[in-house]
Amino acid sequence: MAYFQSKPSSGRHFLQIPGPTNVPDRVLRALDNPTMDHRGPDFGLLGARILAKVQPVFGTEQPVIIFPASGTGAWEAALVNTLSPGDRVLMCETGWFAHLWEEMAGRLGITSELLGTDWRRGADVPGIEARLRADTAHAIKAVCVVHNETSTGATSRVDEVRRAMDAAGHPALLLVDTISSLGSIEFKHDAWGVDVTVSGSQKGLMLPPGLSFNAISQKALAAAETAKCARSFWDWRPMLASNATGYFPYTPATNMLYALDTALDMLNEEGLQNVYARHDRHAEATRRAVRAWGLEVQCDDPRHYSSALTAVRVPEGHSADGLRATILQKFNMSLGNGLGQLKDRVFRIGHLGDFNDLSLMGTLSGVEMGLRAAGVPHKPEGVQAAMDYLSGNT
Amino acid sequence: MAYFQSKPSSGRHFLQIPGPTNVPDRVLRALDNPTMDHRGPDFGLLGARILAKVQPVFGTEQPVIIFPASGTGAWEAALVNTLSPGDRVLMCETGWFAHLWEEMAGRLGITSELLGTDWRRGADVPGIEARLRADTAHAIKAVCVVHNETSTGATSRVDEVRRAMDAAGHPALLLVDTISSLGSIEFKHDAWGVDVTVSGSQKGLMLPPGLSFNAISQKALAAAETAKCARSFWDWRPMLASNATGYFPYTPATNMLYALDTALDMLNEEGLQNVYARHDRHAEATRRAVRAWGLEVQCDDPRHYSSALTAVRVPEGHSADGLRATILQKFNMSLGNGLGQLKDRVFRIGHLGDFNDLSLMGTLSGVEMGLRAAGVPHKPEGVQAAMDYLSGNT
Amino acid sequence: MAYFQSKPSSGRHFLQIPGPTNVPDRVLRALDNPTMDHRGPDFGLLGARILAKVQPVFGTEQPVIIFPASGTGAWEAALVNTLSPGDRVLMCETGWFAHLWEEMAGRLGITSELLGTDWRRGADVPGIEARLRADTAHAIKAVCVVHNETSTGATSRVDEVRRAMDAAGHPALLLVDTISSLGSIEFKHDAWGVDVTVSGSQKGLMLPPGLSFNAISQKALAAAETAKCARSFWDWRPMLASNATGYFPYTPATNMLYALDTALDMLNEEGLQNVYARHDRHAEATRRAVRAWGLEVQCDDPRHYSSALTAVRVPEGHSADGLRATILQKFNMSLGNGLGQLKDRVFRIGHLGDFNDLSLMGTLSGVEMGLRAAGVPHKPEGVQAAMDYLSGNT
Amino acid sequence: MAYFQSKPSSGRHFLQIPGPTNVPDRVLRALDNPTMDHRGPDFGLLGARILAKVQPVFGTEQPVIIFPASGTGAWEAALVNTLSPGDRVLMCETGWFAHLWEEMAGRLGITSELLGTDWRRGADVPGIEARLRADTAHAIKAVCVVHNETSTGATSRVDEVRRAMDAAGHPALLLVDTISSLGSIEFKHDAWGVDVTVSGSQKGLMLPPGLSFNAISQKALAAAETAKCARSFWDWRPMLASNATGYFPYTPATNMLYALDTALDMLNEEGLQNVYARHDRHAEATRRAVRAWGLEVQCDDPRHYSSALTAVRVPEGHSADGLRATILQKFNMSLGNGLGQLKDRVFRIGHLGDFNDLSLMGTLSGVEMGLRAAGVPHKPEGVQAAMDYLSGNT
């Protein structure tokens, strides 16, 4: 059971939303250690260790800033540190979270130009290139991409976005949200030429919500020198100055840093490549289950399939939210809901974070039994298909 | 992961041996509270509360003694408090644990008379009655029954044993081991006329191992006055004297008592009848899976099916232990092994304690995928059969 | 020991900085529960419960917003929700934290007018009244006061500030930072007519850092409608809209909310008035110790003594930081350092949060032994003076 | 606060009974890990590691058996494995616990010959030698000594007992209870020729109660082959057979083993000699406080002073239990009570386990303030004397 539940239930809740994910016991037991003096000598040693250890997960040797704030804050930090009021950005609207980021930009005085999709695939790379080529005046100051769109289960090809920007010879910054991909799907801040990578603690990093991140290129740092958006809490400069010695300019979320330190150890012990392969495997098993049920995966470009979550479309005339409520009530599992234009049209299965084959099978069994219980038309063959795949006999 | 594992693994280990069971987070968080003064005033209040709260789980209004020792100790306590060296007991040998109890009795100077079975069912009630009728001299001082034989998955009908003893008009004590049934399968110490009920913490009570119990009838208490077995640690009398005010005669396992207090709250919140029904449901789903795989349940008397675990026979020529090793290695799940004459012939699925439908489905999926991976002949229809049952569409 | 320490130590670290404070075991054990779905039905119930329960600690029946960010963020939120770039505020510069707040205001485009002190007392109430009376054009949009100045141990009389503002008939908002007072020193948001109360989790609320708060008056809410500072993460409006049903507009720091829920229970169980009285008592004992050592309390207006911490001046020619280093190294206790103009001139003893007489005595003993070990001139009579007071024989 | 308290209190309870001691957070966080399969391959690795790591704390390279039972059980194990009903032992009656051990021996059919003391010193070494020399028939099968008598705070010189036995040329076994000394006061099972060392988890090992130990010499193992006491749970032989591969013959207290593994790491990180020196230092500081109060230490032979606890005599006409009740009620500290003939005459201060200077000063301050509050005549100079000693300026 969780800390709070309104009625008794036995066994563990299946938290299969696409984040927050199931926090490993080892991380929870790091989290609950006594808080320490964040100005004392030991803290500096711990801080420096964590700041160094977090870089490889971003695929970077450049600074990674850790905010004592949940992921939305890191979106804001990416914008206010690099842009000025009135600046224009190209926002790749791949789904609900891209939409929310655009909304935020507007509140901060940034003008977004939307490059839409049908919410069934990643960012429109040719569209980006075309738009940038057309922007000969370089009015566009940044291209914003959500690496893994949590609302649709589509992963944008950031490497291709980079190549498109290079091909267009455009100087815009590349800002990428990896909140639901980092630590689950390979990401290369440096190699892909990302300028600001935004992330959060509560997905692939296997922590509770409460920390967020900006990995920052030299070009972004330079932009921060001239950016005019007012900023204080989110300001990179005092952060970088303090981080140099392992400290933070204001009170960090100390216990969350304990948890992060431990979670990074776990990722390293498993090996990042193994972690990514595990996510790929579970995503493939899930998609096979979905197809065997006769349902449709929301993402319909296989090159953009997400390894972190799968959004599943329910047949016309059926309610995804009704299905989710049935599954929660009967099988003690939380699934993600449809957002924005997908409201009640899809449910989302998170298969990211601290996860394994049998937890996935419990999850898929819960979906299959839920489909039946809720009267959603399907073929009862999804669980079998997933087992076929996982046990290696496809 | 557990406290220790020799290689990294992601997600939760599936601990599906028939005990120790998966300890709920809430119980672990009670366990890890600071130890308190076991002679201070607050301890007496806590002790009295726990001693009262534990009685209903045994179905008794009579004293329940809590030993700071694992379950085997409570077997010893039951014997040494009621018997004298040279005494004779009738031991219903339903499987390996009954065998171990008999072995212990022998070490303590008690002579056991075995009433065997084929290890595929509960205690032989007509046999008990016949033997007691024949014992006109009342040489038999106690009848020992394992309520739920953990090695075979067979539950003896203790109510019928009681009726057989009454029918025979025999004064022997009735000693019952409920280590793997208490809190999972209904048990009625008082209504069934049990004299000593033995139990442990690490199964249906959802605690780690480290506590054990004796529920005691007035008749057993009277026997304790004349029993000649040497005893000190296990002696009921100083325990009962101290328990009267909520204390213990020697240092109790304080933190385990915290855990017990919380676990009893959880059982009460769910409701004992709901707990038993949940176990019945999961056992039935498991047996349906076993049959659908084309395998055989070790217990072959449906009246004795265990709701706590299911022992499954592997086909001739195949190794149950090899299967278990495959499942542990590939799917991170522990299953119980075959014991004694069943070594390598059965594997045992624990479905007791803090458990729910999706954890069961993860478990059964792990077995089904393991059967495939280990090359054990089976039909891949068990998981489907279990889902059919659980989702209510059999 | 904490999660990390660079060399082994036995026993508990004494974390006697004026925050983060010692987090009670019970709160840590709430914190480490599994994260739950922040969009699920149970979360709304929990959220509504917490939002209601937090109000009395602020002395308010008006909305209290909880940010998933550390305390500095709530300062920013108070400013950006109520003010517009170019606005002027009257900042009562009582010490380092007031200075930092002013610095932040500047970064956000707000002009601060400083009303200084000698850093040995609370806000200058007559000065506030005089300045406001002089501001006939009502150019000053807000008066900013740090209730308990953590750098000096001086508590401003917010009630008097309110009366001065009323006496001046000035419409400025009253913004008050209670980061190091809330839950330790009585505070009455409503009764004192505060417009925005800023607070954080890691002091009197006995939580780790990671949550911060704004309690908001109707007048402040009205100001938020017209305030022009760009804001998104800190924007009250979507927060209030979501909070109405117990939810949050973006991912909350779920596990910190568990901890908050439990900490609020603890405060209520002890009783807020008892909590305040306990802090008063420990502060008085500490000041008596300081005087008995022959040292000087930094705050020299008894009406402004802080019950949360005591800043102690070291004699000329001695280093407060050297003393602190000695105490940390020899006695495993962290004390607060001098900040700004008080650097190396004072050390600060935190006696707030989850604390009791014997922990205070351990703390004061550590200071007294540290004074000796570091060769700071003093009379060895402080511990005795504190015991005299605490044991009721002054 | 502990898991249970009947009224709210703030800050940490001071658990200064001479055991159970304050369990370090790190140990509690080991304890609360998920229970693992005690028959699985990883358990064997963990078990072997622990069994090896525990030996140095006993000063032995011989087997150490770990019982899933509290300390009293290990007393019983020592007796029933080495002796036969009717055997005679020489019991050095240094206080209440020696008395309880004798009482237990009697219940198990062993005849104890008491070698008394005035309960103000350790075992009477010349008396042992004299008695053994007189026992030319070697009727005495074992000499039983409590290393650190928890009821009086007197530590017997086990090395001298060994030399006395050797001098007498007597073949009796030497059984030593180290329940309240192990991990606090140096002990050398091998070097001192001890045959069975009895210990428990809840004192110097810094664990909750629930584990107990027998370290066993070859001579004791040989005795076990012929000893006639009935035994099963306590039988060393199946234990040793299973331990050889890291397992246990019946269910071990798995989570307590996690805690033990961690506690042993902590002792090793600090260094056993440092641990002992720390205990010596705190004991000396405590005795100086006692004398400065004008009170009397119960142990009046300085060679037998205990470094684990100090029993303090209250002046005639005053109640030690009244004082303890006052201290518990007013200062939230538990102290040990007087036992047997010392009932209400002494109170006992535990200064063992996970402890440091400032916790000791909190403890002694609590005693001093308690003496005042309870009206027990004393000079208020004890805390000062302890600080003088601890800060190195005696």
User: Which of D25, D32, D33 faces A34 most closely, judged by CB atoms?
Assistant: D25
**Stretch A318-347: mean pLDDT:** 98
Position C263 scores a pLDDT of 98
Position B394 scores a pLDDT of 53
- The yes/no answer to whether this complex scores an ipTM above 0.90 is yes
Give SS3 for A234.
coil
Best mutation target among C46, C70, C214 (most A Cβ atoms within 10 Å) is: C70
Q: How many CB pairs under 8 A join C and D?
A: 136
Q: Do D29 and A34 touch (CB under 8 A)?
A: no
Q: How far apart are CA A60 and CA A189, in angstroms?
A: 5
Q: Do B251 and D20 touch (CB under 8 A)?
A: yes
CB atoms within 10 A of CB C39: 15
Closest Cα in chain D, distance from residue B212 (Å): 10
- CB-based contact D308:D128 (threshold 8 Å): no
Of the candidates D91, D155, D96, the residue with the CA atom closest to the CA atom of residue D121: D155
Best mutation target among D251, D337, D359 (most B Cβ atoms within 10 Å) is: D251
Q: Which residues of A touch C67 (CB under 8 A)?
A: 69
Q: Do D361 and C357 touch (CB under 8 A)?
A: no
- In whole numbers, what is the pLDDT of chain B averaged over residues? 97
Q: Which residues of D touch C330 (CB under 8 A)?
A: 357
Question: Taking the model in full, what pTM does it have?
Answer: 0.98
Best mutation target among C9, C14, C273, C358 (most D Cβ atoms within 10 Å) is: C358
Q: What chain D residue is nearest to A33 in terms of C-alpha separation?
A: D25
Q: What chain C residue is nearest to D379 in terms of C-alpha separation?
A: C384
pLDDT higher than threshold 90 for residue B392:
no
- CB-based contact A352:A180 (threshold 8 Å): yes
Can you name the residues that pair with B312 across neighbouring β-strands?
B297, B347
Q: What does the DSSP assignment read for A190-209?
A: TTTT-SEEEEESSSTT---S
**Stretch C337-342: mean pLDDT:** 98
Q: Which residues of D touch C269 (CB under 8 A)?
A: 8
Task: Give chains near D: 3+ CB pairs under 8 A.
Answer: A, B, C
Low-confidence residues of chain D, pLDDT below 50? none
Q: Do D369 and C390 touch (CB under 8 A)?
A: yes
pLDDT higher than threshold 60 for residue A394:
no
Q: What chain C residue is nearest to B28 in terms of C-alpha separation?
A: C29
D115-141 pLDDT per residue, tens: 999 999 999 999 999 999 999 999 999
Can you name the residues that pair with B198 across neighbouring β-strands?
B177, B214
pLDDT higher than threshold 90 for residue C392:
no
Q: Which residues of A touch D29 (CB under 8 A)?
A: 29, 32-33
User: Which of B42, B232, B253 faces D5 most closely, judged by CB atoms?
Assistant: B42
Q: What chain C residue is nearest to B34 in terms of C-alpha separation?
A: C25
Best mutation target among B87, B151, B232 (most D Cβ atoms within 10 Å) is: B232
User: Which of D29, D34, D251 faces B72 most closely, judged by CB atoms?
Assistant: D251
Q: Do B36 and D85 touch (CB under 8 A)?
A: no
C301-328 pLDDT per residue, tens: 999 999 999 999 999 999 999 999 999 9
Q: Do D357 and C373 touch (CB under 8 A)?
A: no
Position C345 scores a pLDDT of 98
Q: Which residues of A touch B380 (CB under 8 A)?
A: 384, 387
B2-51 pLDDT per residue, tens: 799 999 999 999 999 999 999 999 999 999 999 999 999 999 999 999 99
pLDDT higher than threshold 80 for residue A104:
yes
List, in order, residues 6 or more apart from C207 with CB less than 8 Å away.
Answer: C23, C27, C31, C201, C256, C259, C260, C263
Closest Cα in chain B, distance from residue C347 (Å): 32
Q: How many CB pairs under 8 A join A and D?
A: 9
Poorest-confidence range of A219-223, B212-216, C195-199, C389-393? C389-393
Position D392 scores a pLDDT of 83
D317-359 pLDDT per residue, tens: 999 999 999 999 999 999 999 999 999 999 999 999 999 999 9
**Stretch A73-87: mean pLDDT:** 98
CB atoms within 10 A of CB B167: 13
Closest Cα in chain C, distance from residue B181 (Å): 28
Best mutation target among D12, D37, D76, D111 (most B Cβ atoms within 10 Å) is: D37
C234-246 pLDDT per residue, tens: 999 999 999 999 9
Q: How far apart are CA D157 and CA D162, in angstroms?
A: 9
Position A1 scores a pLDDT of 60
Residues B47-70, buried b or exposed e (16+ Cβ, 10 A)?
A: beebbebbbebbbbebbbbbbbbb
Q: How far apart are CA B60 and CA A350, in angstroms?
A: 46
B172-187 pLDDT per residue, tens: 999 999 999 999 999 9
Position B286 scores a pLDDT of 98
B132-159 pLDDT per residue, tens: 999 999 999 999 999 999 999 999 999 9
Q: What chain D residue is nearest to C333 in terms of C-alpha separation?
A: D358
Residue appearing with tokens 């019970």: C26
pLDDT higher than threshold 90 for residue A199:
yes
User: Which of C28, C29, C85 faces A230 most closely, judged by CB atoms?
Assistant: C85
Position C295 scores a pLDDT of 98
Position A49 scores a pLDDT of 98
Position A2 scores a pLDDT of 75
Of the candidates C83, C63, C67, the residue with the CA atom closest to the CA atom of residue C173: C83
Position D393 scores a pLDDT of 59
pLDDT higher than threshold 60 for residue A123:
yes
Q: How many CB pairs under 8 A join A and B?
A: 136
Q: Do C32 and B34 touch (CB under 8 A)?
A: no
Poorest-confidence range of B167-171, B295-299, C388-392, D192-196? C388-392
pLDDT higher than threshold 80 for residue C394:
no
For residue B148, what are the CA distances in angstroms to B164, B175, D320?
A: 18, 13, 51
The pLDDT confidence band at residue A392, using thresholds 50, 70 and 90, is confident
Residues of B with CB under 8 A from a CB of A: 1, 8-12, 14, 22, 24-26, 266, 269-270, 275, 278, 330-333, 354-359, 361-363, 365-366, 368-369, 372-373, 380, 383-384, 387-388, 390-393
Q: How many CB pairs under 8 A join A and C?
A: 224
Q: Kind of pairing, strands A346-350 and A309-313?
A: antiparallel
Can you name the residues that pair with B140 across neighbouring β-strands?
B88
Position B1 scores a pLDDT of 61
Percent of chain B scored above 70 by pLDDT?
Answer: 99
pLDDT higher than threshold 90 for residue B393:
no
Closest Cα in chain A, distance from residue D29 (Å): 6
Position C300 scores a pLDDT of 96
Question: 3-state SS string over chain B?
Answer: CCCCCCCCCCCCCEEECCCCCCCCHHHHHHHCCCCCCCCCHHHHHHHHHHHHHHHHHHCCCCCEEEECECHHHHHHHHHHHHCCCCCEEEEEECCHHHHHHHHHHHHCCCEEEEEECCCCCCCCHHHHHHHHHHCCCCCEEEEEEECEECCCCEECCHHHHHHHHHHHCCCCEEEEECCCCCCCCCCCCCCCCCCEEEEECCCCCCCCCCCEEEEECHHHHHHHHHCCCCCCCCCHHHHHHHHCCCCCCCCCCHHHHHHHHHHHHHHHHHCHHHHHHHHHHHHHHHHHHHHHCCCEECCCCHHHECCCEEEEECCCCCCHHHHHHHHHHHHCEEEEECCHHHCCCEEEEECCCCCCHHHHHHHHHHHHHHHHHHCCCCCCCHHHHHHHHHCCCC
Cα four-point dihedral sign B72, B76, B79, B81: negative
